[in-house]
Amino acid sequence: MENTQDINTISIIGGTGALGSGLAARWARAGYRIVIGSRQAEKAEAAAAALRAALPDASIDGAQNRAAAEAGDIAVLTVPFAHQRPTLEDIRDRLAGKILIDTTVPLVPPKVARVQMPVEGCAAVIAQQIVGDNATVVSAFQNVAADLMASDAELACDVLVAGDKLADREIVIMLAQKAGFAAWHAGPLANSAAMEALTSVLIFMNRRYAGSHAGIRMTGISAA
């Protein structure tokens, strides 16, 4: 896959939650075919039907996670940290040659406002270890307000993108832009640790300052 022109279908694995369905709506508005995945095909189909009702001109289908992963030109993982490993172990053979955008944050309830990183370093590195050579993991979308994603409004939040291959980061940055975000190269996949940890900081700040949509903006630089 060389550029976004090679992407027609985006699979969103675990896509029935706020982040997954929000990204689905934004990319559907941008003209992509969307396949929402879930452990239960019926749940995925119900989520797809709800989005089609709101976006009647969009192409949105639902499927069990394995079928969804197979259908996409690129896959996006939007599941809680506790479900990351079993989900990826289930679908990794369907990801051959694809980019996997991992949005996972290693939140450990009940102390989700405290940074608690895994021994591997970060969730994105875990994802790459699980999928192995089957797919290339790029990390993004950890710091966006999931409950605002379904809106088509511009969100006051930038997206950081980490991955070991420059060309793959470029593709994810372009997809983030298609979803209405300013997006930035944030370095190799290991740098996702900072992005993932920042989510707990933002949760803490939302609680401390009675908010719900704390985000980040890059200053002092301009996009090339």
- Boundaries of every domain in the chain: 7-208
Q: How far is CA 58 from CA 9, 14, 43, 146, 189, in A?
A: 12, 19, 19, 21, 32
- Higher-pLDDT residue of 19, 146: 19
What pLDDT does 16 receive? 95
Encoded amino acid at 208, one letter: R
- Tell whether the model's pLDDT for residue 6 goes beyond 90: no
> Is the pTM higher than 0.85?
yes
Q: Helix, strand, or coil here: 89?
A: helix
- pLDDT tens per residue across span 149-208: 877 777 889 999 999 999 999 999 999 999 999 999 999 999 999 999 999 999 999 999
Strands 98-102 vs 74-77: parallel, antiparallel or unpaired: parallel
Mean pLDDT of 69-74: 97
- Cα 24 to chain centroid distance, Å, stands at 10
Token pair in block for residue 104: 């996972």
What pLDDT does 212 receive? 76
- Given strand 183-185, what is the order of strands in its sheet? 60-64, 33-38, 9-13, 74-77, 98-102, 135-139, 159-163, 183-185
Structural class in CATH, domain 7-208: alpha beta
Please state, in angstroms and rounded to a whole number, the distance separating the CA atoms of residues 43 and 82.
19
Mean pLDDT of 88-115: 96
- Which of left, alpha, beta for 97 (phi over 0: left; psi -120 to 50: alpha)? left
How long, in residues, is the chain? 224
What pLDDT does 82 receive? 96
Token pair in block for residue 96: 């051959």
pLDDT band, very low/low/confident/very high, at 4 (cuts 50, 70, 90):
low
What pLDDT does 152 receive? 77
Mean pLDDT of 56-81: 97
Mean pLDDT of 51-61: 96
pLDDT band, very low/low/confident/very high, at 80 (cuts 50, 70, 90):
very high
Q: Tell me, what DSSP letter sits at residue 194?
A: H
Mean pLDDT of 96-107: 97
